[in-house]
Amino acid sequence: MSFLRSCGSWAVQRATVNKLPMNLRGERRLSLPTTDATELRVFRRMCIACGRNHNSMSVLPKRYFSSSQSHMISTRKPYLIVVKEKESPKEDGAMAQLKQVLDVRLEQLLEESLKHGEPGRFYRYPKPLRTVNRPSRQKGHQPHSKRKPGFLEPKNQTDNKSSSHASTQPKRKFKAKELSLKSVQSSNVAQMQKEDVASLPEGGMPKERIAPVKDRTLSSSEVGGMEINKSRLKSYRTRGETEHSRMILKSQKVDQSEKVDPDIKDDKLVIARTDPKTPEKPDKKHMYHIMRDKSIYLEPLIEVCMFKNMTKRALSEFNSLKSKMPIDVGIYNMMLKGLAQKGALGNIRTLFDSMAASGINPDAQSYAAVLQCIGRMKFRHLQTITKCLSDMALHDITIDDLFLKTTFSNDDRSVMLEVIQGVNPDYIPPRPLPRPHATCGLVQDLYQDEAELSDGQNDESAVGHGSLGCSGLLTKEEFQDKFKEQLDLEIKEAAVIKSIEEDGNPDKNTLQKREILQQHKKVWKMSLVQAIKEEREAFKRKGRGISGPDQRSYAGMLYPFLNILKPEEFADLMLQAVADTLACSTEGLGSYSLSHELGNRVHRKLIIRSKLQKGFAEKLEQMYDAFADYHLSEEMMQRYKPREYWQQLEDELLDGPSLNHETKPWKTLTNASLGIVLVKMIARELRLDTAIMNPQAERKLIPAFYNVYIFKGTKNVNYIKPHPTLVDLMEGAKEPDMTFDTTVLPMLVPPLPWNSCKYGGYLLTETRIARCPEGSQQDQELSDPSRLKDWYPVMDSLNQLSAVPWRVNKPILDVIISVFKNNGSKELNIPQPASVLPQPPSITSETSKADAAHVYRERSLYQKLRGEMHSLRMTDLYKLSIANKYRDEIFWFPYNLDFRGRVYPCPPHFNHLGNDVTRSILVFAKGRPLGDKGLDWLKIHLINLTGFLKKSSNQDRLKYAEEKMPLILDSADNPLEGQKWWQGADKQWQSLACCMEIANAMRSDNPAEFISYFPIHQDGSCNGLQHYAALGRDKIGAEQVNLHPFDVPQDVYIGVADLVEQQRAQDAEDGLEIAQLLEGKVERKVVKQTVMTIVYGVTVYGAKLQILKQLREKEGLDRFQKSLASKYLANAVFNSLLKMFTKTREIQSWLTDSAYYIAKAGHCVDWVTPLGFPVAQPYFKQRYGKYDDVGRSNVQIDTLKQKNGFAPNFIHSLDSTHMMLTSLYCQQAGITYVSVHDCFWTHASTVDEMNQICREQFVKLHGQPVLQNLSSFLDNKYGDITISKSVKKKPQNAEIQTIGDIVKQVPKPGEFDLTNVLQSTYFFS
């Protein structure tokens, strides 16, 4: 029997088996291929027989091949011989004989396979034809004696071949990567066929050649037994197991003389590199949609191919899809621009012919690409240029359109101008067209012509606050340096920040875990880098175009995406995602969410590098140098809005690339498809040594992450969870450095002003103005350039907020960090580490079943609390570490909107919308003198923060502050060791910060001249109900929420509680038992949350749960009584609100009914805010396996969410509009202004001015016919739609036939005089 019969031979060098490298399983591996099924069965039986408690050898299928050997593979399946050493007891005769046969066979195999060959080369030999000759159906087939040489068959092969035949065979060579190998030619097949197992020589392989496993001890430097063995970077995988021997963790100390040299020597046995795995087939649902609609991938694919200079692949994919899907001129222009950079005029002509055949008219961007291509050619054909210009005229495109309606990269503009002037030397490009002004009537007085604006600013009263811009904070040179620093951060795409937990003296246990973690990370990175390389090559081989099978098509589509980054960069990105999202807690993350996040991260990096490739950085630096002058001049900031000044700079600096390139976001499935590949690598490649935490345990490699399926409602969702050992390791390591994306950090310079819905915020990092789903109705409306002027007021408000500079309140930060390092404090709302939790009880042999069940519940609760505490602790660690990093810096926050129009800072961890701790750390970077009333406002603000005198007037609060001044000063001087008066406040840390500011002002020479940086807050009184009361002119409700002036603030929560108590008392008199039990238990605290959330659409059931939570603290009621009481009080609260806010309930019902019928008609509810911002509710039901045109698995309107969400979302859009109006007019007045939704911030000296502007803009906003305008909008859009007979109707709506019938039923307003707001002190206070 011949072991090498009918197989190709891989070259190996002569060596004994004991010189093979050994992995952690005690295996020595030899790679030899065979496809003979009979021989393999016999050999496998011999291996099984010898493998029982003896030295064993096994045959395992190998599926992976190195990238450079991919062309050698046909249909043969090589196999892997594994030699595994074990303790060998006495062998019986049968076992010894079988083992002898096996050893002899392997020895002979090694000797016979080295008879021929040329050193340093691989050869691939063709498979001999079967003995049964069959006539070939292929044209030109030759018999075996006249066959052509194999793909890599050498010319001078003579063994068992005639010399004439050998001379005709071309010599095909393969150079191995990193390995110097001697080639081995095939053994004599005829001779091997005559051999018999019985005729083999006795003795077999000498046993002294097999080196036994030595006892080894850990060295002191090998913490956790981790050392990288570079000589064993091999990857062998079986069909059922992923072997991690490519990146081996050498867990034992090896003598230097025994180490295997990574450089291959003549006396070493070398195993040829195995081939990378074929790409795993995606999930069936996902795969179905990928292959059903490849158009999702076309635009991103072209974008990536052009970025990576894969022009041929882009053309191939484009040509194969253009006849299968509708392609618009935008996709053609992407191809044309890429080809123009290469000067590929022939390909451009082909694309123009294709456009003509498809009936697509080229636009100005198309012809600009032609002229740019000609300009980059060595020889410019005048005839081609003339033909291009004449074709433009046929399509009504002028030469001026080429400069006014197109975007440019690098030197495109100058190249095109040179070509045009070569034909028409007198041509001068036009100046940009004048920018349109905002059309919103609410702010028409803010948008005047430049001359009028200049005249209006001559009034000295309009200038002089000194609180706008950066004047006095930075010089021009410092501003330029900070710009370069910020640009460099965004180019690097990440920043390393030192953890506040790192004090320079970690304990021994922490150091040990850090070293173990670092060793793992080194191995993980090497493993991921190799996996990325293999994955690339596998996808490259499989992707031969998109017309083949599904898997080939999938691979062909994704191959370019795997080339966006270098393998090392991909590995860093995946490891960063592991640290950020996966390894933080044992909860894990949904695999789809993680896939989408990884795809997003790759896309962000692509956008930044694409911008750099197009020359954005140089153009941006030139423009920002001029933009610095604007921020350094307060007069300029009042004369121009940031957007206006930036647009003026764009119109002046025309050369170079266009900065307003529109970058289309990738579809959801595009991100997820790329991310799925990376997630599978993470789960497959990252391994843990099980003995890292317990050196006595058995050492083996286990997955660091595993897949679990969790039911979420009715859906079974796949989660990626970290191994608990990894979580413990990362918690214990307390890594000193943390890496953050630049998108989660503040900026060192003012953000770019929003001048379109796609451009603004960070310098290079892509940011969108609205956080709405890609491709949604709202996103499409915001992408319409013809409506850009309608959104100027919204953009200008965002720009005003973004222009406010901040700095860190260092004294407060130091106190908070000291408490944080001292294991936190539950009383001070500083999260404690999970280690402070008491350990749950253990189960012993004496534990009863009932006690064991109790212990299991305790353990479950312990794990839940541990995860929550760790999450909270890490959240504060992030924000405090970022604050500590920026403690000596001036920084800015870029802003954008949610789908309702509410404003949020882009950095998520550290911003003024955070909790009490975060807000206390932030102060304005630019201070202002307190003036006459500033100190009084500081004192009033302090009492507001404490929550001590909520029902008292400002004068009473000021008097109380004076009485408590000794305690205030003591709090400022000894926050942690004094009388701790501040710790009794509602908002403790902000109160402490205010105490310190008051102490500094009081101790200054002149408090009126004291420069204060502290922000004073003015908060709306239940702002949602304020808007409802204003819309309905509800007199009683308006008085309850302070729209009417009073000497003391009205408390709507107390008012509702009083009405509820009156109803309870009446019911108690009537003999209602539950009302009698509630005597003395109806308090403000019980009803507050329900009243607060009534404007957000809370239901009776939701109100019952809210009240039940408050009643749990009450005594005298059992569990059943509390449940009944919560239901009773929920209904009582709703009845009281109906009496107090009659018009509010009518408006809510009208909004809810309108949304219900619109949603039932199959439409999402949308509207336009009074400032012109389009809003559309993105509420859809998910139906898995079905996708819409943008890759979202939602094809059905969620009627319930659309109905319940309309009223609260509409009110949110109104409070956002009020905030923006206040922002715009505060900027005009020269006042520093920021907001937290309905809480407005400014300096102490400008509180009165801001309050006046706030009230004026509220009256102006609700002076508009807001509900009537909404009714007209809905009627125009949906009014003609007939309501289906199957739709349920309320009794009062039984007669309506169309949606117009319901949306026209606008509730009539009450009699409240809205101008009373102007005199109301406690409207915002």
| pLDDT per residue as tens digits for the range 1003-1061 | 999 999 999 999 999 999 888 889 999 999 988 889 989 999 999 998 888 888 888 88
Q: Residue 212: which residues within 8 A CB-CB, separation 6 or more?
A: 85
Mean pLDDT of all residues in 215-219:
35
Mean pLDDT of all residues in 1252-1276:
94
Provide the pLDDT confidence category of residue 698 given band limits of 50, 70 and 90. Answer: confident
**Burial profile 336-362: b = 16 or more Cβ within 10 angstroms, e = fewer:** bbbbbbebbbebbeebbebbeeeebeb
Residue 710 has pLDDT above 70, yes or no: yes
Residue 95: predicted pLDDT: 52
Residue 889: predicted pLDDT: 94
Residue 974: predicted pLDDT: 94
Alpha-carbon distance of 1291 to 364, in angstroms, equals 58
Catalogue the long-range contacts made by 92-101 (C-beta closer than 8 Å, 24 or more residues apart): 95/49, 95/50, 95/52, 95/54, 98/46, 98/49, 98/50, 99/50, 99/54, 99/55, 99/204, 100/202, 100/203, 100/204, 101/46, 101/197, 101/200, 101/204
Alpha-carbon distance of 1212 to 1192, in angstroms, equals 26
Provide the pLDDT confidence category of residue 106 given band limits of 50, 70 and 90. Answer: low
Q: Is the dihedral of CA 392, 394, 398, 402 positive or negative?
A: negative
Residue 1073: predicted pLDDT: 86
Coil/strand/helix, residue 29: strand
Residue, of 537 and 903, whose pLDDT is higher: 903
Residue 13 has pLDDT above 70, yes or no: no
Alpha-carbon distance of 5 to 190, in angstroms, equals 9
Alpha-carbon distance of 1117 to 1122, in angstroms, equals 6
Residue, of 997 and 1097, whose pLDDT is higher: 997
Of 401, 1051, 1238, 1275, catalytic: 1238
Taking Cα atoms as reference points, which of 1287, 1288, 1284, 1282 lies closest to residue 1301? Answer: 1282
Residue, of 174 and 594, whose pLDDT is higher: 594
Mean pLDDT of all residues in 821-828:
91
**In what side-by-side order are the strands of the sheet with 27-32?**
27-32, 79-84, 56-61
Residue 972: predicted pLDDT: 94
Residue, of 360 and 151, whose pLDDT is higher: 360
Residue 194 has pLDDT above 80, yes or no: no
Residue 308 has pLDDT above 50, yes or no: yes
Alpha-carbon distance of 162 to 146, in angstroms, equals 11
Average pLDDT of every residue of the chain: 76
Taking Cα atoms as reference points, which of 461, 434, 462, 431 lies closest to residue 449? Answer: 434
* Percent of the chain whose predicted confidence (pLDDT) is above 90: 34
Coil/strand/helix, residue 1011: strand
> 55-64, 605-614, 1137-1146: which has the minimum mean pLDDT?
55-64
The amino acid present at 477, given as its one-letter code, is E
Which region holds residue 1204: left if phi is over 0, alpha if psi is between -120 and 50, else beta?
alpha
Residue 97: predicted pLDDT: 57
Residue 906 has pLDDT above 90, yes or no: yes
Residue 917: predicted pLDDT: 94
| Helical axes 295-307 vs 329-342, angle rounded to 10° | 20
Coil/strand/helix, residue 1167: strand
> 82-86, 483-487, 970-974, 1151-1155: which has the minimum mean pLDDT?
82-86
Q: What is the pLDDT of residues 744-789, one digit of tens each?
A: 999 999 999 998 888 899 999 888 899 888 778 888 888 888 888 8
Provide the pLDDT confidence category of residue 109 given band limits of 50, 70 and 90. Answer: low
Taking Cα atoms as reference points, which of 68, 72, 77 lies closest to residue 31? Answer: 77
Residue, of 1142 and 712, whose pLDDT is higher: 1142
Residue 1170 has pLDDT above 70, yes or no: yes
| Residue labelled with tokens 């994306």 | 741
Alpha-carbon distance of 253 to 699, in angstroms, equals 14
> 427-441, 471-485, 694-708, 1266-1280: which has the minimum mean pLDDT?
694-708
Taking Cα atoms as reference points, which of 1164, 1156, 1266 lies closest to residue 1204? Answer: 1156
391 among known catalytic residues: no
In the numeric block, which tokens belong to residue 1257? 């803009």
CA angle, corner 728, sides to 727 and 730, nearest 5? 65
Q: Is the dihedral of CA 1013, 1014, 1015, 1018 positive or negative?
A: negative
> 30-39, 225-234, 718-727, 883-892: which has the minimum mean pLDDT?
225-234
1181 among known catalytic residues: no
Mean pLDDT of all residues in 691-695:
69
Residue, of 994 and 710, whose pLDDT is higher: 994
Residue 555: predicted pLDDT: 64
Provide the pLDDT confidence category of residue 1094 given band limits of 50, 70 and 90. Answer: confident
> 197-201, 943-947, 1060-1064, 1225-1229: which has the minimum mean pLDDT?
197-201
> 251-265, 361-375, 1022-1036: which has the minimum mean pLDDT?
251-265
| Number of other CB atoms surrounding residue 827 within 10 Å | 9
Q: Specify whether the CB–CB gap between 343 and 311 falls below 8 A.
A: no
Residue 670: predicted pLDDT: 85
Residue 580: predicted pLDDT: 80
Provide the pLDDT confidence category of residue 2 given band limits of 50, 70 and 90. Answer: very low
Residue 278 has pLDDT above 50, yes or no: no
Residue 96: predicted pLDDT: 57
Check residue 1319 and report its DSSP letter.
G
Q: What is the pLDDT of residues 572-604, one digit of tens each?
A: 999 988 888 776 666 778 888 888 889 989 999
Q: What is the pLDDT of residues 481-509, one digit of tens each?
A: 999 999 999 998 889 999 998 877 888 88
Strongest mean pLDDT among 515-524, 813-822, 1070-1079: 813-822
In the numeric block, which tokens belong to residue 134? 């069959």
Residue 867: predicted pLDDT: 80
* Percent of the chain whose predicted confidence (pLDDT) is above 70: 73
Say how many Å lie between the first and final Cα of the chain, rounded.
Answer: 96
Residue 465: predicted pLDDT: 54
Alpha-carbon distance of 909 to 746, in angstroms, equals 10
Residue 85 has pLDDT above 90, yes or no: no
Q: What is the pLDDT of residues 404-439, one digit of tens each?
A: 999 999 899 999 999 999 888 999 999 888 888 888
Residue 90 has pLDDT above 80, yes or no: no
Alpha-carbon distance of 851 to 206, in angstroms, equals 62
DSSP 987-1014: SHHHHHHHHHHHHHHHTSS-GGG-EE-P
CA angle, corner 175, sides to 113 and 259, nearest 5? 70
Of 898, 956, 1019, 1058, catalytic: 1019
Q: Is the dihedral of CA 35, 36, 41, 46 positive or negative?
A: negative
Helix or strand (DSSP H, E) at 796: helix 792-802
Mean pLDDT of all residues in 1115-1140:
85
1160 among known catalytic residues: no
Residue 745: predicted pLDDT: 93
Mean pLDDT of all residues in 1118-1122:
84
Alpha-carbon distance of 534 to 553, in angstroms, equals 18
CA angle, corner 784, sides to 781 and 790, nearest 5? 85
Provide the pLDDT confidence category of residue 272 given band limits of 50, 70 and 90. Answer: very low
Alpha-helical (H) ranges within 228-294 are 284-292
In the numeric block, which tokens belong to residue 919? 């807000």
Q: Specify whether the CB–CB gap between 47 and 58 falls below 8 A.
A: yes
Coil/strand/helix, residue 58: strand
Taking Cα atoms as reference points, which of 347, 310, 323 lies closest to residue 558? Answer: 310
Provide the pLDDT confidence category of residue 467 given band limits of 50, 70 and 90. Answer: low
Of 1088, 1122, 1143, 1160, catalytic: 1088
**Burial profile 623-632: b = 16 or more Cβ within 10 angstroms, e = fewer:** bbeebbebbb
Provide the pLDDT confidence category of residue 216 given band limits of 50, 70 and 90. Answer: very low
Q: Specify whether the CB–CB gap between 570 and 314 falls below 8 A.
A: no
Q: Specify whether the CB–CB gap between 466 and 928 falls below 8 A.
A: yes
Q: What is the pLDDT of residues 1206-1253, one digit of tens each?
A: 999 999 999 999 999 999 999 989 899 999 988 999 999 999 999 999
Q: Specify whether the CB–CB gap between 516 and 693 falls below 8 A.
A: no
In the numeric block, which tokens belong to residue 731? 């918690």
